[in-house]
Amino acid sequence: MQPGSSSLLPAAPPRRILLVKTSSLGDVVHALPVVSDLHRRFPEAQIDWVVEEAYADIPRLHPAVRRVIPVALRRWRMTLLRVATWREMRAALGALRIDDYDIVLDAQGLVKSALLVAMTRRTVDGQHCGYARGAAREPLAALFYDKRLDIPKNLHAVERNRRVAAAACGYAADLPFDYGLASYFPPRPEWLDARPYAVLLTATSRVEKLWPEEHWHTLMAFLAARGLCSVLPAGSPAERERAQRLSAATTKTSVACVAPSLSIAALASLCAGAQLVVGLDTGLTHLAVALGRPTLALFSGSDPLLTGVYAGDPPATPLRNLGADGAPPSTEAACAAAAELLSP
């Protein structure tokens, strides 16, 4: 068998599979259906996942993931001169090499993820698999794979992940769509009262992706008229200041509260109990869809065509993508979509 061949197939059903999808939050969420597909196709296989430490709570939500292997590439590169960093790196390498894998799949397509693939141990017939040069986000990553897979770039990110896994493991990419979180029923957060609520994800990574604050005021009033309290999570100081401004602007026609600082696991718990999640182009919005919550995604500085919220075709979860790059949705459109998603 020649390295790099796209026709290689596993000689037998894989017993151990390692998925490498390290970051960011939305990308990690988009890889959850891969685990569902692998578990459905190979129910006896052990599935492990390499992920950035900040996002390790996401693969832990999936019941078919046996072992989560956290790495800290983002943090390590900032502290390479520290002895403690090299100790952590050695420990992570040891964790990567505990098991021999039949399939090691890089669903990230970056040089840094391909390097992690190269550090793993394979069985005698095991394969390092990933995107072909023309399909990878960083073409040089393809040099590290035994099996290079040419997956079209004009597919939604979720479907690209599913197809690269199917091609790597030799099965048809036609399995039922499933994020794998249907059994996740966390308790209601103790800091919330008993009122039904909507989660409003008002923060995002870039200024051009933000939605005007006066638009959020209108939406909050609309939701309050339907008996929903608007809960506003916030992370960074700037995000918390924005959330506090929005909450402080509420009147008798709208009710809102700012959530305390929450881990990703706690944010998942919060979203899981919401009647509706409205969010910008951010990983938590995608997580809400994965949790099966009605979700409205608002786009202003990015295009939802390939990275919008997604739950199969037709969607397995009620969802809407509104807006586009340079064309933020109106309050009228957002309120109408929210009403549709809240309808029984």
pLDDT digits (tens, 9 = 90+) for 298-308: 999 999 999 99
Would you give the end-to-end CA distance of the chain in angstroms? 55
Confidence of residue 253 (pLDDT cuts 50, 70, 90): low
CA neighbor of 111 nearest in space, from 62, 58, 73: 73
- Determine what percent of the chain is predicted with pLDDT higher than 90: 92
- Per-residue pLDDT at 164: 98
- Per-residue pLDDT at 12: 85
Indicate the Cα dihedral angle 73, 59, 158, 42, nearest 10°: 120
- Per-residue pLDDT at 6: 43
Does position 17 have pLDDT exceeding 70, yes or no? yes
Q: How far apart are CA 158 and CA 138, in angstroms?
A: 18
Q: Determine the distance from the C-alpha atom of residue 155 to the mean position of all C-alpha atoms in its chain, rounded to a whole number.
A: 16
- Per-residue pLDDT at 2: 38
- Give the tens place of pLDDT for each residue, 198-228: 999 999 989 999 999 999 999 999 999 999 9
* 3 state DSSP class of 116: helix
Mean pLDDT of the chain: 94
Does position 7 have pLDDT exceeding 80, yes or no? no
DSSP of 40-65, one letter per residue?
HH-TT-EEEEEEEGGGTHHHHTSTTE
- Give the tens place of pLDDT for each residue, 94-124: 999 999 999 999 999 999 999 999 999 999 9
- Per-residue pLDDT at 205: 84
Does position 4 have pLDDT exceeding 70, yes or no? no
Does position 5 have pLDDT exceeding 60, yes or no? no
Same fold, 16-169 and 197-342: yes
Q: How far apart are CA 131 and CA 165, in angstroms?
A: 10
- Per-residue pLDDT at 11: 60
Q: How far apart are CA 6 and CA 117, in angstroms?
A: 17
Confidence of residue 249 (pLDDT cuts 50, 70, 90): confident
For residue 193, count other CB atoms closer than 10 A to its CB: 8
Does position 9 have pLDDT exceeding 60, yes or no? no
User: What's domain 197-342's superfamily in CATH?
Assistant: Glycogen Phosphorylase B; (3.40.50.2000)
Does position 252 have pLDDT exceeding 70, yes or no? no
Does position 88 have pLDDT exceeding 70, yes or no? yes
Question: What are the residue ranges spanned by the domains of the chain?
Answer: 16-169, 197-342
Q: Indicate the class that CATH gives domain 16-169.
A: alpha beta
- Per-residue pLDDT at 3: 40
- Give the tens place of pLDDT for each residue, 34-71: 999 999 999 999 999 999 999 999 999 999 999 999 99
- CA-based max dimension of the chain: 70
**Inter-residue long-range contacts of 67-74, CB under 8 Å, 24+ positions, other chains counted:** 69/95, 69/96, 71/22, 71/116, 73/22, 73/112, 74/23
